[in-house]
Structure 1
Amino acid sequence: MSHPIEHSLPPDIVEAALPYLSLRDIKNLSLTNRYFHKLLDFNSSDTLWHEIFRKTFGPLHSETEPLESSQNSHYLSCCEMILRNRFPDESWAQLYKLRSLKARLYTWGSLKHARLGYTASSHPSLPPEFINNAGMRLQFGINTPVQVPWDSDAEGSSHRIDNNSIASVSAGGFSFQILTKSGKLYITGSTYSGGHRGPGPVEGESDYNPFQRLIMQSERSLTMFNGRTPRQGGVVPINTTSSMPLERPHENIYASFEEAERILDQKLAGNRHIRRLFTRNVTKSDLESSGIFKIDTKKLDDIKFQSVSSGRSHILALSDEGELYSWDGPDVEQGVRIIFDGLPTRETNPVVKIGSGWNYNCVSIFNIGLVVWSSRNALRENDSYAAANYKVIPNTGVCSGDDKIVDFACCTNLCVFFITARGDELRLFANDFVQKVVLPIEGRIVKLVGCYTMLAIFTTRSCYTVNVLDGQVVEQSLVKLELENSDDMFVSLSTGDYHTVALTSRGKIFTWGLESELCGCLGLGDREVIVNERHAGRIENLRSTRVLKPTLVKLGDTDYTCLAVTAAGWHTGALILS
C-alpha cells in the first residue's frame, strides 16, 4: 500500500528539492518515514547518490557550469554527462566512488615558477621526450600531459585519500588552484600573481601588514647603544668598555614569525611544489604588549571552500558559509574576505555563482544581480574584511521566469556576457552599458565561457567561439567548432593567452592555437611530432608552433576519459580517470 505522501510529493518532486538541502538535511529527511527512507537510503538510493555526486563534484556555484538548467531535474554537469556516457550501466554510487578515487590531475605547458605542480627535476618519472628544450640544456616546457604527484597516490587510509581527492581545478595566469573534496584550497608553484596587481587595493594603497609592523617594532625596541639592530637569528651586537666589539646572544625576536611561517607553509604530502592557501582569519598579533605574531591553529580548517575561480593574477573563492575570499595581489598571501557595502547580507541574498575575468571579478547574487569589481579598499588595522568597489549590472536581479539570468562569463576589462532563461539572445555589459549581441548561431544558448579576449558560446546544437576586443564582439571572428565524429560534441572549453583546450561529451581533449616559446601548452608532443608526424600544425617562428584546428590530445596508447579541462597563461590542466 502506498503512503499518502507519495501522491502529494512524488519522487520527481523530492528529487527536484534535493539541490536546496544540505547532506545533513537529506540524512534527516531519510529518517522521517518509510517513503523517504526508501527514496533516500544511502545504501540503495540512486537518486540520493546522484545528488551527493552533484553537490561534491558539480556545484552550480562553479563557473564551469551554467547557473541553472530550464529542466533542472534532468540537468547533467559536464562531468556527469561524460561519466554517464562512458559507464552507462554503473550506479551513481559507483560513479561517485570512481570520481573520488580515480580522477587524477594532469598538467602540461610552461615550467616557469613550477606552475605545473612539478619541475623537470622533481618529477619521479618524466620521459626526456616530454621536455621541450630545442637541443639546449634550458628546459622550456612539458609537451605531453603528465600526472601531477598527489597525496592520493601515496599510501594511507582510504578515508584520508577520499577527503583529499580533487573536486575541481582552475588555472590562473601563473599557477593552478586546486580544490579538494574536503574544502581545502591548494596552489601550484611559487606565485599566483607573477608579481602583477590584481583587483586588490586601489593604486597607491596597500593592506595593513601586522607581520611587517611587528618585525619593525621588535627591531626598534632592541636597538642598542649605538643604534645597531639585531642581525639575522636575533643576535644583538653591543659595545663594552673594551675597544673590541662583542656579541651577546639574545632571545630570537623573530621566533614567532618563523613559527607562523612554518605553520602556514603547508605543502602537499610528497610534493613541495603544491601548498595550501589560508585566509587572514588564522593570524593574530599582539602589538601593544607581547609583540607576538601567532597562528590560531584551531582555525586552520574552519573555512571550507566550495568553488574557486582564477583570473590572470588573482584568485576568488566561495566558502560553504557563503563568504567570498580574494587573493588579489603580490603582497596578499592570505585570502581577504570581501563584502559589498550597501547590499543585503548573504543570509538573505547569497552569492549564487562566482567568476573571474582577466583583471576583475564578477559574482551573481540572489535578487541583486551580477556584481563586478576591479578594486577594493585596503585593509586597515583590526579590519576583518575589505569592501569591494563594485557595480551592479542593471536589470540582472530577476529571480524567476524567462528573464532570470542563468549564466554569465567574464572576459577582460569589465566585459561581462550573460544569458537569460530564454536563451534566445546574448547580452554584453561593457563600458558601463548593456547591449544585445546578435550573432548568426544555431540553437538556444545554454552556456557561456569567457577567457581573456575570447568568448565560447554553447547552444543546444553546437559550440562557437568569437573574439572580444575593447568591449566589442568581433563578429567576423565567429567560428563554429565541429568534430569529425558526429556522435561527439564539445561540452567545456578554456583558453590561455594564445591557446585553447576543449573537452567533448565522450571525455576527449582537443587543443589548438599558438604554442609560444616551446612552452608545450598544446600537449600534442614536440614540434617534430606536431608538424611532421601528425601534420597538425606549422612552425610559426624559431620557438613557436601554431595548430589551426582542434586536434586530439593523446595519452600514450590509452583510451582515456577526461572529466574537466582548464587553461591560462602558457599552461593547461585536466582531470583524467587513471
Structure 2
Amino acid sequence: MATEPSKSKEPKTSLTDLPFDVLALVFPYLDARSFLALCATCRGYQQNIRLDAAYWRHTTRTNFRVPNRPAVESDGERWQRLCKRILTQSRVFTWGSNTHACLGHDDDDHGTAAGANPVGRRPAARRRLGFSVSTWPVEVASCRDMGVIADLQCGGWSTTILNSRGTVFTFGVIDGMIPTRQVPAVLPTVLEFPPGYPRAGERDEPATAIRQFSSGRSHILGLSDSGRIWSWYDKTQPALQVKTLHVDFTENSTSRSSRSNVRKVVAGWNQSSAYVNGTGIAVWDPVRRGRDQQAQELDTMLVIETAIVPNTFYQRPKGLSREPDHQTRLIGEAVGEVTNYIVLESFVVFVTDIGKVFAAKMHFENGSGLIRLPVELRDLHVTSPTDPTPSATDIQGAFRSFAVFKRDGSVLLADHGCLDDIYPPPGALSPPPLAERIKRYPALQNTGVTTLAFGDHHFHALHADGTITSYGTEPQSCGALGLGGDGDPEGRLRGIRYLGRMRDGQLLPQAYETGRRVWFEPEKRQWIRFMASGGRDPDEAKERLRMTVNDPVVQGEVSEWFEQEGRDWDRRPGLPGAADGDEDDGLGAYFVLNVAAAGWHSGALVLVNEGLASRVRDSCIVPDPTTAVEEADPSSSSPQPQGPLASALSWLTNSARWFLGLPTRADEAANPPQEQQPLPFTDPQMHGASPGRGLRYVWADDAFPRLRLRDGREMPGEVGFSEWRFGRPEQGG
C-alpha cells in the first residue's frame, strides 16, 4: 500500500526574524512601558534594542517637548534616563542680575538660600545701583507648580519657560525698554492668546499649544503644534499671530503630531525668523500693535516685507524623489540642507548637512530688509589644513557671539568682529585671516559640550555629563557666572578677579584650561565660605590668603585646587547607602538638562535626585563634640570663650575680617543692621564651619590649602602641603 508523502512544514516567522529597519517603524507607536515589555521578551532585544537612541529621543521629545541636541542625539542611554527622570525631578534654577525680577525670586530668597551672603557683610556697590543679584543658582520654587518643564530660555530682561503641555510662562519683562505696564513680579506670568482662543494650558489645542519657542532680546516667538507662529513683546498683551505677504506658513490643525512647513522659529537680537521648508530662512522685523490698536481688535499681523536668506531653500530628496532641476542640484552640492541656524545682531549664521558653515549679513531699515549672499566660513568647518573635509555639526550663539561644533569633539568660538571682515568695504585693507581670530578654549575641546548659552559678556557650556562650566565676565559682579562670591572672597577662590571702579568680575585665563563648574549643592557653598574665611586657622593662613588675592598666577592655581576638590561629591567614598526606592541611575544628584543665558543673568533646567542630594548633605554634617562639652557643664553660662585665649582669638578674627573685606566690630557698632543683629564672626555658622548649634561640617578642621606652585615657589605656612585630587594641571595659564 503506497503511503502519501508527508507535507513539508512551512517555517514559522518569528518577530525576531524581522529586520531592525522594519521594527524601527513600529517603535514610535509604542509607549515606554510597551517598548520595555517588548524588549524583555528576547535577550537580543534586551541587549541591542532596549537603549535604541532613536526611540528614546522620539519618546522624550514627543512627551515632554524637550529640544534636540545634535551632540547627544545618538546617546540612547542618556535619553532613556532623561525620559524616566524628567517626569518628577525637573527643577528651574536662576542666577545673576535680578533686574525686573527676571530671576523669578525676590531678595528674601537670597538670604535663605544656602551659600548666600553671611549676615553682616558689607553691602556691595551694585546694590546701591538699584538691582539685586544672585551669585549662586537659586531654585525658582514657583516652577514646581508648572508641571513638567520642557525648555528654558533667557531674554534681555526675562526668563521664559515651556512646560510639557505647551504653555509658556515668563518672569521679568519681555521688553525692558518700554516704560511700562509690564510690572515686575516674582510669580510667573502665563503668556496668553487673543480673545476667542482657549486660555493657555486649558486644553491641548494645536493652534495654541507651543511645541518650540525662542526668546530674543525683547520679544518671544512660539511655534504651535499646528505650525502657527505667535509673537509676544509685552507679557500683559496677548500674542499676535504672524503671517507674511510673500511667504506661506502652511498650517495643519488636525493633531499634535501634524507638521506644517515651518520647521523652526528663532527670535534674534532684534529680528524674527523662521525656517520654512522649500523657502529657506525668512527674516522680518518683530511685530507690535500700534498705540491705538487694542488686543480685542487685532489678533493677526501681516508682515509686508520679508527677507529670505539666499541659498537656504534646498532640501535633500527622500526616497525615490529626484532633484527638480540642475540649479537645485548645484545648490545641494555647494551649500547643502540647513540643519540649524542662529540670528545674531547683524548676521544669520547657519550650518548644513554636508558640514559647512555660512554667514549672511542683514540690513534692515524702516521695515524693509536685505540679506546679502551667504559666505562660506571655511576656517570654521574644515577638519585641518591638510584635510579640507567640512566637519561642522551644529551652530549656537546669540547677540554678537557664536560657536561651531565639529565632529571631532572640538568647539570653535567667534564673534561679530570676525564676521564683519568677510564683507570688507571697497578699498579696505585685507583683514587678518579668520583662523587667527577663532578661539579654542581647552576646557571646551573634547569635553562633551552639548550646549553653549551666551549672555552679553559671559557664557556657559553644558557638558554631556550634566555639568555647567562658566566663562567670560560678570559686569558689576552681578553673579552671571554663577560661581559665587558676590564680589567677595568666595568668587576669588573660584578664579574671578574683581577689577575697576564698578568691580567687574573677570574670569582668570587659567580657568579656561579646565573650566569652572557651577555648583548646585548647598554644602559646597558653605565649604568655600569656610575656606574663604581662612579655614581652621585664619592667622596661620593669612599670608597664603594675601598671595591668592594679590597674585593672579597664585589665584589661578588655588582656584584650580578648589575646582578639583569640588568635583564628584555625590560619588566620593563614605557616602551613605541608598534607602529603599532611592535609585541612583548614574546621572548624579544634579543633572543639568538645559542652560540659558542673556544679558546679565542665566538659568538652568536641572534634574534633581532628592534622595541622593540628601545623602550628600547628610555625609557633610557630624555632631560637634565641643558643644556637647559646653552643655554638660552647667557652670558655663555663655558659649563664648573667656580669658587671654579669647582676646587673642578676637584680635585674629577681627584682623581676618578687615583683610577679607568684611565689616569689623567698629563697622558693626557704627552701622548696625536694620532688620536683624548679625551673628558674631566667631560663631561657626558665620563662616561655614557649622550648619547649626550642636553640629559641625566635616571640613571644620581643614586648613586653607598650601600648594607647591607650578613656577617652583612654595606657599608659606605651618601646615603640610596640600595634595592635588586629580593631579596639578601642567598647561600654561
Decide: shared fold, TM above 0.5. Answer: yes
Task: Name the aligned partner's letter for residue 449 of structure 1.
Answer: Q
- Structure 2 counterpart of 1:572, from 572, 585, 602: 602
Deviations, residues 51-78 of structure 1 (Å, cap 9, x unaligned): 211323465xx5x745xxxxxxxx844x
Question: In the alignment, is residue 315 of structure 1 matched against residue 220 of structure 2?
Answer: yes
**1:145 matched to which residue of 2?**
137
The structure with more helix, counted as a fraction of residues? 2
Secondary structure at the aligned position of 1:517 is classed as helix
Asked if the contact 2:359–2:419 (Cα under 8 Å) also holds between the matched residues in 1, the reply is: no
Tell me by how many angstroms 1:428 deviates.
3.0
**2:104 matched to which residue of 1?**
117
**1:134 matched to which residue of 2?**
124
- Structure 2: any 5+ residue segments left out of the alignment? 1-10, 253-258, 318-331, 364-370, 384-390, 423-433, 525-568, 571-589, 609-733
**2:247 matched to which residue of 1?**
343
Query: Structure 1 CA distance, aligned partners of 2:298 and 2:397?
Result: 33
Q: Residues 421, 405 of structure 1: CA spacing in aligned structure 2 closer, same or farther, 3 A cutoff?
A: same
- Structure 2 counterpart of 1:438, from 357, 378, 384: 378
Deviations, residues 504-562 of structure 1 (Å, cap 9, x unaligned): 12121111112112311111112333664233434244331111434222233455321
Query: Structure 1 CA distance, aligned partners of 2:504 and 2:15?
Result: 65
Asked if the contact 2:227–2:260 (Cα under 8 Å) also holds between the matched residues in 1, the reply is: no
Asked if the contact 1:536–1:551 (Cα under 8 Å) also holds between the matched residues in 2, the reply is: no
**2:399 matched to which residue of 1?**
452
**2:585 matched to which residue of 1?**
none
1:117-516 superposed matches below 5 A: 117-121=104-108, 125-127=112-114, 128-129=116-117, 133-134=123-124, 138=128, 140-152=132-144, 164-189=147-172, 191-196=173-178, 272-282=186-196, 302=205, 303-328=208-233, 330=234, 333-344=237-248, 345-347=250-252, 350-376=261-287, 378=289, 382-388=297-303, 389-400=305-316, 403-413=336-346, 415-431=347-363, 432-434=371-373, 435-439=375-379, 443=383, 444-461=391-408, 462-469=410-417, 472=420, 475=434, 476-483=436-443, 488-516=447-475
Query: Structure 2 CA distance, aligned partners of 1:311 and 1:480?
Result: 27
Secondary structure at the aligned position of 1:479 is classed as coil
- Structure 2 counterpart of 1:555, from 520, 523, 526: 520
* Higher RCO (CA-CA < 8 Å; seq separation 6+): 1
The structure with more strand, counted as a fraction of residues? 1
Deviations, residues 67-114 of structure 1 (Å, cap 9, x unaligned): xxxxxxxx844xx85x946xxxxx92x541212211211100011111
Task: Name the aligned partner's letter for residue 396 of structure 1.
Answer: T
Asked if the contact 1:281–1:299 (Cα under 8 Å) also holds between the matched residues in 2, the reply is: no
Task: Name the aligned partner's letter for residue 227 of structure 2.
Answer: G
Asked if the contact 1:495–1:566 (Cα under 8 Å) also holds between the matched residues in 2, the reply is: yes
> What RMSD, in angstroms, separates the aligned Cα atoms of the two structures?
3.9
Asked if the contact 1:530–1:537 (Cα under 8 Å) also holds between the matched residues in 2, the reply is: no
Secondary structure at the aligned position of 1:439 is classed as helix
Deviations, residues 239-260 of structure 1 (Å, cap 9, x unaligned): xxxxxxxxxxxxxxxxxxxxxx
Q: Residues 321, 40 of structure 1: CA spacing in aligned structure 2 closer, same or farther, 3 A cutoff?
A: farther
Q: Report the TM-score, using the length of structure 1 for normalisation.
A: 0.68
Q: Report the TM-score, using the length of structure 2 for normalisation.
A: 0.55
Task: Name the aligned partner's letter for residue 173 of structure 1.
Answer: G
Question: In the alignment, is residue 102 of structure 1 matched against residue 89 of structure 2?
Answer: yes
Secondary structure at the aligned position of 1:480 is classed as coil
**1:51 matched to which residue of 2?**
58
Secondary structure at the aligned position of 1:195 is classed as coil
Query: Structure 1 CA distance, aligned partners of 2:212 and 2:149?
Result: 12
Query: Structure 2 CA distance, aligned partners of 1:304 and 1:525?
Result: 38
Q: Give percent identity, aligned residues only.
A: 23
Residue-pair matches, total: 452
Secondary structure at the aligned position of 1:129 is classed as coil
Asked if the contact 2:483–2:491 (Cα under 8 Å) also holds between the matched residues in 1, the reply is: no
Tell me by how many angstroms 1:569 deviates.
0.8
Q: Residues 417, 533 of structure 1: CA spacing in aligned structure 2 closer, same or farther, 3 A cutoff?
A: same
Tell me by how many angstroms 1:352 deviates.
0.7
Task: Name the aligned partner's letter for residue 156 of structure 2.
Answer: G
Tell me by how many angstroms 1:473 deviates.
5.5
Highest Rg: 1 or 2? 2
Query: Structure 1 CA distance, aligned partners of 2:468 and 2:251?
Result: 38
Asked if the contact 1:282–1:300 (Cα under 8 Å) also holds between the matched residues in 2, the reply is: no
Asked if the contact 2:65–2:211 (Cα under 8 Å) also holds between the matched residues in 1, the reply is: no
Secondary structure at the aligned position of 1:355 is classed as strand
Tell me by how many angstroms 1:339 deviates.
1.4
Q: Residues 512, 105 of structure 1: CA spacing in aligned structure 2 closer, same or farther, 3 A cutoff?
A: same
Query: Structure 1 CA distance, aligned partners of 2:230 and 2:218?
Result: 15
Task: Name the aligned partner's letter for residue 140 of structure 1.
Answer: S
Question: In the alignment, is residue 539 of structure 1 matched against residue 499 of structure 2?
Answer: yes
Query: Structure 1 CA distance, aligned partners of 2:45 and 2:222?
Result: 31
Tell me by how many angstroms 1:502 deviates.
1.0
Q: Residues 304, 129 of structure 1: CA spacing in aligned structure 2 closer, same or farther, 3 A cutoff?
A: same
Secondary structure at the aligned position of 2:439 is classed as strand
Tell me by how many angstroms 1:307 deviates.
1.1
Q: Residues 535, 187 of structure 1: CA spacing in aligned structure 2 closer, same or farther, 3 A cutoff?
A: closer
Tell me by how many angstroms 1:374 deviates.
1.4
- Structure 2 counterpart of 1:528, from 483, 488, 494: 488
Task: Name the aligned partner's letter for residue 124 of structure 2.
Answer: A
Tell me by how many angstroms 1:481 deviates.
2.6
Deviations, residues 356-393 of structure 1 (Å, cap 9, x unaligned): 21001221111111111114485767544112231121
Q: Residues 367, 65 of structure 1: CA spacing in aligned structure 2 closer, same or farther, 3 A cutoff?
A: farther
Q: Residues 421, 487 of structure 1: CA spacing in aligned structure 2 closer, same or farther, 3 A cutoff?
A: closer
Tell me by how many angstroms 1:142 deviates.
0.6
Asked if the contact 1:282–1:297 (Cα under 8 Å) also holds between the matched residues in 2, the reply is: no
Asked if the contact 2:357–2:381 (Cα under 8 Å) also holds between the matched residues in 1, the reply is: no
Asked if the contact 1:132–1:519 (Cα under 8 Å) also holds between the matched residues in 2, the reply is: no
Task: Name the aligned partner's letter for residue 105 of structure 2.
Answer: Y
User: Which moved further from structure 2: 449-458 or 464-473?
Assistant: 464-473
Task: Name the aligned partner's letter for residue 371 of structure 1.
Answer: A
User: Which moved further from structure 2: 128-137 or 170-179?
Assistant: 128-137
Task: Name the aligned partner's letter for residue 468 of structure 2.
Answer: I
User: Which moved further from structure 2: 467-476 or 511-520?
Assistant: 467-476
Task: Name the aligned partner's letter for residue 280 of structure 1.
Answer: P
**2:731 matched to which residue of 1?**
none
Task: Name the aligned partner's letter for residue 321 of structure 1.
Answer: S
- Structure 1: any 5+ residue segments left out of the alignment? 67-74, 86-90, 155-160, 198-211, 213-260, 284-294
Deviations, residues 12-68 of structure 1 (Å, cap 9, x unaligned): 3553687xx7xxx657xx89xx99x99999xx9765554211323465xx5x745xx
Query: Structure 1 CA distance, aligned partners of 2:244 and 2:283?
Result: 10
